[in-house]
Amino acid sequence: MHKPSLIDFHAGITAIDTEYVRPGLDASHLVVQGERAAFVDTGTTHSVPLLLAALKEKNLAPEQVDYVFLTHVHLDHAGGAGALMAALPRATAVLHPRGARHMADPSRLVAGSKAVYGDAAFDALYGEIVPIPAERIRTVEDGEKLALADRELEFLHTEGHARHHYCIVDPAAEAIFTGDCFGISYRELDTADGPFIFPTTTPVQFDPEAAHATLHRLLSYAPRHAFLTHFSHVSAPAALAPQLHRDLDAYVDIARRCRAADDPEESIRLALREWTFARLDAHGFDPDPVLRDEILHMDLALNAQGLAYWLAHAADGAPA
């Protein structure tokens, strides 16, 4: 096992690269308060040795981890949780009430993911999904608070990306752990203009109205920092939120425009790519389309898939 790639932030927060798909795509965050620790999201089963190595680098024993917080049960966030919990004797897994049963019995999650990715890709991406014993899972209601040592964390049920999603407000760090509710911001796309950010609309519970509302709710806490699963820290979230709102509106417009196409999903994907590349031009990022596709092809495909699903299923998905 090679060394984990870690980035240390303020207030005892460390980003661990889970190495899902490629470096810099998917982060787990370790939060340390006094003698106690918690993970926020876990990457996949393949990531677990990296997370355990990160604990060791921080001179923490597995017994010192009190919580494994899972923002939602998409497998790039929670796929490794069962295998990680098996190595953390005192930890409790904390989930949204709608996500809990899927971690105790991951069979439906696995089937859903295989439908998105295909069987062969699933195994390479995620490996075996280990269930979490039901008695080691606790759920949190909207607005509920939990303490890590003497550090109070508040849980917000936040829909838009998925109905089983929560975000964690961490006043001690003036931060929110946003999972997939504050978009994606790869450090590879940073320029002199700052971070590049865009929403994630992956299947099958994208809800644009809820996504807008969630952004407003997160900003009502006036966070100075957001920690995203893809990929880690952005500062001044209030300055980035308007772009996320504009993108959400643009994505919905694109989806509606593609509704009558022969292959709506592919038409959406191409239009999203064009929209995103134009934004990258304005952002001053390298114009090389090969490089851009390398970084973004997976998200463009997943976002198109989620928008096509929304268009075909959502009550408000009818064309304007």
Which residues are at the interface with Zn ion (CB under 5 A)?
74, 180
| Smaller CB separation from Zn ion, 37 or 197 | 197
**If residue 256 lies in a helix (H) or strand (E), which one and from where to where?**
helix 237-257
Tokens at 37, concatenated: 């620790």
Nearer residue to Zn ion within complex by CB, 180 or 265? 180
Tokens representing 315? 């009550």
- Closer by beta carbon to Zn ion, 149 or else 204: 204
Q: From CA 299, how far away is CA 205, in angstroms rounded?
A: 16
CA 106, distance to chain mean position in Å, is 18
Smallest distance from Zn ion to CB 77, Å: 6
For the CB of residue 135, give the shortest distance to Zn ion in the complex, in Å. Answer: 26
Residue closer to Zn ion, measured from CB, 66 or 76: 76
The runs of H, that is alpha helices, within 58-96 are 75-78, 81-86
Task: State which residue, 52 or 248, has the beta carbon closest to Zn ion.
Answer: 248
Count the neighbouring beta carbons within 10 Å of the beta carbon of residue 88: 23
Q: Which is nearer to Zn ion, 66 or 180 (CB)?
A: 180
43: closest CA among 62, 28, 65, 21? Answer: 28
**CB-based closest residue to Zn ion:** 74
| Contact indicator for 27, 185 with CB cutoff of 8 Å | no
Least separation, in Å, of the C-beta of 229 and Zn ion?
8
**DSSP calls for 91-106:** -EEEE-HHHHHHHHST
Q: How far is the CB of 134 from Zn ion (least distance, A)?
A: 23
Question: Do the beta carbons of residue 229 and residue 27 sit within 8 Å?
Answer: yes
Residue found by looking up tokens 């049920």 in the block: 157
CB of residue 308 to Zn ion, shortest distance in Å = 17
Could you tell me the smallest distance in angstroms from the CB atom of residue 150 to Zn ion? 31
